[in-house]
Chains A and B, each alone.
Chain A
Amino acid sequence: MNGPVSGSSGGPVETQDLRSLLSAQLDQLLHRAQSGWRSIVVFVPYIWLFVFFLAPFIIVLKISLAESLIASPPFSPLFEWTEEGVLTFQLIFDNYSYLWEDDLYVKTYLNSIKISSISTILCLILGYPIAYAIVRSTPTTKNILLMMIILPFWTSFLLRVYAWMGLLADQGAVNSFLMWLGITDEPIRMMYSEFAVYVGIVYTYVPFMILPLYANMEKLDITLHEAAADLGARPVTTFLTITLPMTSPGILAGSLLVFIPATGEFVIPDLLGGGNVLMIGRVLYNEFNSNHDWPVAAAVAIVLLFVLVIPMMIYQHVQSRESEG
């Protein structure tokens, strides 16, 4: 019987050489094929994201540094060949100074951050005990509850916001109920206010808070720690010194998942807030689609990106730590 292909055992010398030569070549070939498909696996999504995700930002940055023109496209070129054949480019920071000088934009950015921060806190206050209650329920109940939290995710976001238009209207269900209770004689105006925007954001984003919290608590076997602490400590102390610090990764992930998209939210302030609520996503949308001022819209987007880049980096850090262990 001859040895394995790698050829370490006996047999005629020539065959052995031939075999090891062949196997070495085969190995090399396999290796090349392997690194071939490996690079395809990386390359295809890489190129896609590069072209359709990264490159667009570079273009936005470029246009934000151009001048508004009444032309098509409505902005000045960044690079130009002069008559002597020299490549010149001009950066115009007018759009950015315009944003800074116009009160409206600064106020809108600050108001967006205020609204999304308060909404994040409200989501946390509502979501934390819900996630906790789900972790502590029996396996069957747990599955049903999780499904109930996930279900709204799969239904239309737009329609869930629309549902609140019906509830918060002057003759809507909430006002009818309050009047029936005798709390108020006249309908309270709730639509087109910051209150309606808060309700809309908390309603649509609270599952984004609950799910990371749940995942975090589930892993920690929180009940055990609490049982141990119950032996001596008061519940409030237990919660503040053990439960809360242990769940901080979940709190962080959930808060970022609410805060970042809520800051740039368009649909909710548009449908529930109307013209009364200043939020930057809506301003950006209108700047582009109604005013056709592309360079200003691009500058608004770049500034928004700068506002959100730190929370985004923290989120990515949390995610990568999560996936590593």
Chain B
Amino acid sequence: MGKKRSTFLFSVLCFGMAFLYVPMIFLMIYSFNYSKIVAVWGGWSLRWYAELFRSQEVWDALLLSLKIALMNATFATLLGTLAGLALVRFGRFKGRTLFTGMITAPLVMPEVITGLSLLLLFITLGDLIGWPGERGITTITIAHITFSMAYVAVIIQSRLAGMAQDLEEAAMDLGSKPFRVLVDITLPLLAPGMVSGWLLSFTLSLDDLVIASFVSGPGANTLPMLIYSRVRLGLKPDINALATIIIVVVALGVIAAGYLMLRQQKQRERDMQMAATDTVKMTA
């Protein structure tokens, strides 16, 4: 019976992983297809990679997307960390319910609603105070910060919630000023959460199509906007090449980050074990 169950689980796992990865593998294989018609195999070739690198449009879009992603990640991490701190460490404060609502809602809000509402805000503000005069990199960045900071806040919140307050309290008891406690103790403990928040914000921004399409103006095409405008009418071999590059870069990054985190975790466990044995020796 137990055997039957584990066979079942194993096959579901295999099916699930195949489901997740086979489409991406096919996409990558077809990027090396010589044929102009994506679905028809015409032999191996790097033709579409060469075409991709020659396209100024692609480079411009990539540069714009990277600029937005960098600014977004940095500001979203700052704001999200503050929000996470406020939610976990400050107990009840005035307007907390609204605050919590505004933090969690962007996580599930359909993108079309967020995009439309932000565009209408920018237009209204433009009419009222003359800012933003034209939409583009600034408006896209602001829109991205707004939903990315919610993700960062959730990451920081879960990290803080799992973290004992002992260290902070001890430092306070010993006479540290609250600001020093924040800088010397809370922030270093939060650093890994802030790093994952930064990375997540960076990729969320690079990935966003719908919200950017709403709040962008003429001339400002991000990479997803460019990809979308090309593929909406059918398969494009150079987009397969671009997709392959993106998937490989991301996969290497995620694997490297996962490996580093795993090693750090093992190191920490070893340290704790050593500390424990030392304590035992001392008391013995």
Give the interface of A toward B (CB within 8 A).
30, 33-34, 37-38, 40-42, 44-46, 48-50, 52-57, 59-60, 63, 73, 126-127, 129-130, 132-134, 136, 143, 145, 147-152, 154-160, 162-167, 169-173, 203, 206-207, 230, 235, 256-257, 260-261, 263-267, 270-271, 281, 284-285, 288-289, 294, 297-298, 301, 304-305, 308, 312, 315-316, 319-320, 323
Other A-B pairs, 12, CB within 8 Å; known A48-B145, A143-B258, A316-B105: A49-B149, A60-B113, A130-B13, A130-B16, A147-B258, A149-B20, A163-B24, A163-B27, A165-B231, A166-B235, A206-B19, A281-B111
CA distance A167 to B29 in the complex (A): 12
On chain B, the residues within 8 Å of A294 by CB distance are: 120
Main secondary structure of the interface of B (DSSP, over half): helix
Smallest CB separation, B155 vs chain A (Å) = 12
Inter-subunit contact B108/A45 (CB<8 Å) = no
Smallest CB separation, B238 vs chain A (Å) = 12
Inter-subunit contact A156/B243 (CB<8 Å) = yes
Inter-subunit contact B120/A45 (CB<8 Å) = no
Smallest CB separation, A239 vs chain B (Å) = 10
Decide yes or no whether B43 CB sits under 8 A from chain A. Answer: no
Interface bits B228-268 vs A (CB < 8 Å: 1, else 0): 10011011000110010011001101110010001000000
On chain B, the residues within 8 Å of A257 by CB distance are: 108
Partner of B124, one of A59, A162, A267: A59
B 168-201 contacts with A by CB, 8 A: 177-179, 182
CA distance A56 to B109 in the complex (A): 13
Inter-subunit contact A56/B23 (CB<8 Å) = no
Inter-subunit contact A53/B251 (CB<8 Å) = no
Smallest CB separation, A211 vs chain B (Å) = 12
Smallest CB separation, A31 vs chain B (Å) = 9
Decide yes or no whether B39 CB sits under 8 A from chain A. Answer: yes
Partner of B118, one of A56, A126, A160, A169: A56
Interface bits B1-14 vs A (CB < 8 Å: 1, else 0): 11001101110110
Inter-subunit contact B120/A63 (CB<8 Å) = yes
Inter-subunit contact A298/B105 (CB<8 Å) = no
Inter-subunit contact A162/B239 (CB<8 Å) = yes
CA distance A60 to B12 in the complex (A): 45
Smallest CB separation, A45 vs chain B (Å) = 4
CA distance A46 to B10 in the complex (A): 47
Which residue of chain A is the closest to B230 with respect to CB atoms? A162
Inter-subunit contact B111/A264 (CB<8 Å) = yes
The verdict on A45 contacting B153 (CB below 8 Å), with A151-B251, A156-B207, A162-B239 known, is yes
On chain A, the residues within 8 Å of B27 by CB distance are: 159, 162-163, 166
On chain A, the residues within 8 Å of B214 by CB distance are: 288
Which residue of chain A is the closest to B178 with respect to CB atoms? A34
Stretch at the interface among B82-90, B129-137, B274-282: B82-90
Inter-subunit contact A162/B243 (CB<8 Å) = yes
CA distance A156 to B113 in the complex (A): 21
On chain B, the residues within 8 Å of A230 by CB distance are: 2
Most buried by B among A45, A49, A134, A155: A45
On chain A, the residues within 8 Å of B101 by CB distance are: 316
Inter-subunit contact B110/A129 (CB<8 Å) = no
On chain A, the residues within 8 Å of B10 by CB distance are: 133
On chain A, the residues within 8 Å of B83 by CB distance are: 45, 49
Inter-subunit contact B17/A49 (CB<8 Å) = no
On chain B, the residues within 8 Å of A173 by CB distance are: 26, 39
On chain A, the residues within 8 Å of B39 by CB distance are: 166, 169-173
Smallest CB separation, A15 vs chain B (Å) = 20
Which residue of chain B is the closest to A125 with respect to CB atoms? B12
Main secondary structure of the interface of A (DSSP, over half): helix
Inter-subunit contact A52/B23 (CB<8 Å) = no
Smallest CB separation, B15 vs chain A (Å) = 8
CA distance A242 to B164 in the complex (A): 32
Smallest CB separation, B40 vs chain A (Å) = 6
Stretch at the interface among B45-53, B55-63, B66-74, B92-100: B92-100
CA distance A165 to B236 in the complex (A): 10
CA distance A270 to B174 in the complex (A): 61
Smallest CB separation, B108 vs chain A (Å) = 4
Which residue of chain B is the closest to A60 with respect to CB atoms? B117
Decide yes or no whether B163 CB sits under 8 A from chain A. Answer: no
CA distance A56 to B16 in the complex (A): 40
Partner of A33, one of B95, B110, B146, B178: B178
Inter-subunit contact A52/B207 (CB<8 Å) = no
CA distance A38 to B86 in the complex (A): 8
Decide yes or no whether B273 CB sits under 8 A from chain A. Answer: no
The 6 A-B pairs at the shortest CB distance, nearest first, are namely A264-B110, A56-B117, A45-B83, A171-B39, A163-B23, A133-B9
On chain A, the residues within 8 Å of B16 by CB distance are: 126-127, 130, 206
CA distance A308 to B10 in the complex (A): 36
On chain B, the residues within 8 Å of A165 by CB distance are: 231, 234-235
On chain B, the residues within 8 Å of A59 by CB distance are: 117, 120-121, 124
Decide yes or no whether B271 CB sits under 8 A from chain A. Answer: no
The verdict on A30 contacting B178 (CB below 8 Å), with A159-B227, A164-B23 known, is yes
The verdict on A304 contacting B102 (CB below 8 Å), with A147-B255, A166-B39 known, is no
Partner of B90, one of A41, A49, A169, A267: A41
